[in-house]
Structure 1
Amino acid sequence: MMMVRDEAELVDCVRGAQGRLSLCGGATRGLVEGADALSLGGLSGITLYEPGSLTMVAGAGTPVAEVEAALAEQNQRLAFEPMDHRGLLRTNGEPTIGGVFAANVSGPRRMVVGAARDFLLGVRFVDGRGKVVSNGGRVMKNVTGYDLVKLMAGSFGALGALSEVSFKVLPKPETEATLVLHGLSDREAIAALALAMRSPFEVSGAAHVPQEGITLLRLEGFEASVGYRLSRLKELLAAQAGEVEVLGAAGSAARWQAVRDVDAFHRAGGDVWRIACKPSQAPDLAEAAKADAHLFDWAGGLLWCRVGAGVDLRARLGTFDGHATITRAAAKTLKQLGRFHPQQTGVARLTAGLRDRFDPRGIFHSEIGGLHAG
Structure 2
Amino acid sequence: MPETWKPKDAADVASAVGDALSAGKSLELIGGGSRRGFGRPVEADVVLDLSALTEVLTYQPEELILAVAPGARLAEIEAMLGERGQQLAFEPPDFGPLWGLPAGRGTIGGLVMTGRGGPRRLSAGGPRDHCLGVKGVNGFGEAFAAGGRVVKNVTGFDLTKLITGSFGTLCAATELTLKVLPAASDAATLVLVGLSDEAAMSVMSKALGSSAQVSSAAHLPADIARASSVPEIVGQSAAVTLLRLEGVRPSVTARVAHLADTLQALGPQALLGREQSVALWKEIADAAWFAGGGDTVVWKLSVPPSKGAAVGARLAGELSGRCYYDWGGGGIWLELPGADDAHAAHVRRVLNEVVAGDGHATLMRAPDAVRGTEDVFQPLAPALAALTRRVQQQFDPQGIFNPGRMYGGL
Task: Give the TM interval when normalised to the shorter protein.
Answer: over 0.9
Does the 8 Å CA contact 1:11/1:126 hold for their aligned counterparts? yes
Does the 8 Å CA contact 1:29/1:91 hold for their aligned counterparts? no
Match of 1:272 in 2: 298
Q: Given the alignment of the two structures, is residue 84 of structure 1 paired with residue 94 of structure 2, yes or no?
A: yes
Q: Compared with structure 1, are the counterparts of its residues 142 and 159 closer, same or farther at alpha carbon in structure 2 (3 Å cutoff)?
A: same
The structure 2 residue matched to 1:237, chosen from 259, 263, 271, is: 263
- Give the distance between the partners of 2:5 and 2:337, measured in 1 at CA: 35
Does the 8 Å CA contact 1:136/1:145 hold for their aligned counterparts? no
Match of 1:317 in 2: 351
Match of 1:202 in 2: 213
- Give the distance between the partners of 2:256 and 2:386, measured in 1 at CA: 48
Tell me the TM-score normalised to structure 2 length: 0.87
Match of 1:30 in 2: 36
- Give the distance between the partners of 2:14 and 2:155, measured in 1 at CA: 24
- Give the distance between the partners of 1:305 and 1:168, measured in 2 at CA: 31
- Give the distance between the partners of 1:153 and 1:238, measured in 2 at CA: 42
Find the residue that maps to 1:166 and give its secondary structure. Answer: strand
Match of 1:249 in 2: 274
Match of 1:281 in 2: 307
Does the 8 Å CA contact 2:138/2:170 hold for their aligned counterparts? yes
The structure 2 residue matched to 1:330, chosen from 350, 354, 367, is: 367
For each residue in 1:64-98, what CA deviation from the matched residue of structure 2 results, as whole angstroms up to 9, or x when unmatched? 11211221111100000001011111124721111
Does the 8 Å CA contact 1:178/1:219 hold for their aligned counterparts? yes
Q: Which moved more, 1:148-157 or 1:287-296?
A: 287-296
Aligned partner of 2:277: which letter? S
Tell me by how many angstroms 1:260 deviates.
Answer: 0.6
Tell me the TM-score normalised to structure 1 length: 0.95
The structure 2 residue matched to 1:260, chosen from 285, 290, 293, is: 285
Give structure 1 stretches of 5+ with no counterpart: none
For each residue in 1:191-210, what CA deviation from the matched residue of structure 2 results, as whole angstroms up to 9, or x when unmatched? 11011001011111100111
Does the 8 Å CA contact 2:42/2:404 hold for their aligned counterparts? no
RMSD over aligned CA atoms reads: 1.5
The structure 1 residue matched to 2:78, chosen from 48, 68, 86, is: 68
Tell me by how many angstroms 1:145 deviates.
Answer: 4.3
Q: Which moved more, 1:118-127 or 1:26-35?
A: 26-35
- Give the distance between the partners of 1:288 and 1:14, measured in 2 at CA: 47
Q: How does 1:162-181 map to 2 (within 5 A)?
A: 162-181=173-192
Match of 1:293 in 2: 322
- Give the distance between the partners of 2:284 and 2:264, measured in 1 at CA: 24
Q: Which moved more, 1:202-211 or 1:281-290?
A: 281-290
Tell me by how many angstroms 1:369 deviates.
Answer: 2.4
Match of 2:334 in 1: 305
Match of 1:96 in 2: 107
Does the 8 Å CA contact 1:4/1:40 hold for their aligned counterparts? yes
Find the residue that maps to 1:343 and give its secondary structure. Answer: coil
Match of 2:387 in 1: 350
Give structure 2 stretches of 5+ with no counterpart: 226-238
- Give the distance between the partners of 2:146 and 2:43, measured in 1 at CA: 31
Q: Given the alignment of the two structures, is residue 151 of structure 1 paired with residue 180 of structure 2, yes or no?
A: no
User: Runs (4+) of structure 1 moved beyond 6 Å?
Assistant: none
- Give the distance between the partners of 2:369 and 2:334, measured in 1 at CA: 19
- Give the distance between the partners of 1:267 and 1:66, measured in 2 at CA: 23
Aligned partner of 1:11: which letter? A
Q: Compared with structure 1, are the counterparts of its residues 351 and 322 closer, same or farther at alpha carbon in structure 2 (3 Å cutoff)?
A: same
